[in-house]
Chain A
């Protein structure tokens, strides 16, 4: 009887340890602590060129992360990329003329969306579209433009 009781206690501790480990993984390792199921509202933005933007890329304002990209699709009527992003509910005061730009973190880092708040009186709501967008900088395009300009300007060799 004594040993059986002891075994039951040890098994209870083991199960607790396993569940505790799972919680540590959930809260400390994954994104659940900072960006949980609280959800948010979705806005869309059309870009001419999204470069290497991926689903789940961060959406930031002034460098602070406020949401993430939830899906990317292509509009075959306008030939533009449609980016859906979810912004957390607590950040719900972005004016309707907010602009969205795609930046790269570092030289080789991942790409993210940076929002630049405007000055309009009304705020963005669920399902709204951000009209002012600036596409990603594609390195090849820049180099191409640079070479083209270089060749076009006559000057010293």
Chain B
């Protein structure tokens, strides 16, 4: 019995210790950001590998999510003779929720796992220690550009996701199912507010970007430097990042969208 309590305590302490380390690591990373100003090439390369290379999966998923929303929304709305509101349904669900959340989940799987594996492998092959020997701070040289690259990429990807999704919904609703094109756009513009919906969606995606990239680089940096450790760290990145995104999404939604 006492052993179980002890194990629970050890687990809790370990968790807190890891959380503290992750936070200190984030502070260190942020402190390393000004060093990147004279060397934008490092960040550009990271935006390329996390952002540009994720573009395909984001565009294709956005298109299909928008098309499915169009179909499902139409099937429901047509029962109430309200299929003109299809644009509102598609745009609001994409801009407020699905755009930021699904792109963050895809980003965690596509780019976050790659970041963790890359940094973990650098650690396992002692490239990071080598850098320290050469008096190069790996946090500034390796981690900071990857962190800021991810933070730049994800909000852009989320905006692209939402836009492509709206056009996917437009394609299904207007072109295939015959909703009036004018009603689709005008209802959307009447109901979607820039300040409340679009800006809050962007805030969400920025928060998700910071959290997902933070988890990814920390797990890589903190990985046990063996092949098994790197593979576990990669799994943890995807699991923790997805859970964090979903939980934070609930929190942010509760704070942002209160009908008043």
Contacts and interface: CB of A to CB of B under 8 A. Distances in A.
Indicate, yes or no, whether A interacts with B: yes
Interface of A: 4, 7-8, 10-11, 14-15, 17-19, 21-22, 24-26, 28-34, 36, 54-56, 58, 65
Nearest to A18: B156
B25 interface: no
B260 interface: yes
A67 to B, nearest CB: 13
Nearest to A14: B52
Contacts of B230: none
Contact of B163 (A7, A11, A24, A32): A24
A66 B190 CA distance: 12
B188 A18 contact: no
Please classify the interface of chain A as helix (H, G, I), strand (E, B), loop, or mixed, using the class held by over half of its residues.
helix
Interface residues of B, number: 34
Given A7-B44, A11-B47, A30-B193, A18 B198 contact: no
Given A4-B41, A8-B44, A11-B52, A29 B260 contact: no
Interface string B37-49: 0000100110110
A30 B189 contact: yes
B207 to A, nearest CB: 16
20 contacts: A7-B48, A8-B44, A11-B52, A14-B47, A14-B51, A14-B153, A18-B51, A21-B160, A21-B164, A25-B95, A28-B166, A28-B185, A29-B91, A29-B95, A29-B188, A29-B192, A31-B191, A31-B192, A33-B189, A54-B259
A18 B157 contact: yes
Nearest to A15: B156
Nearest to B44: A11
B185 A10 contact: no
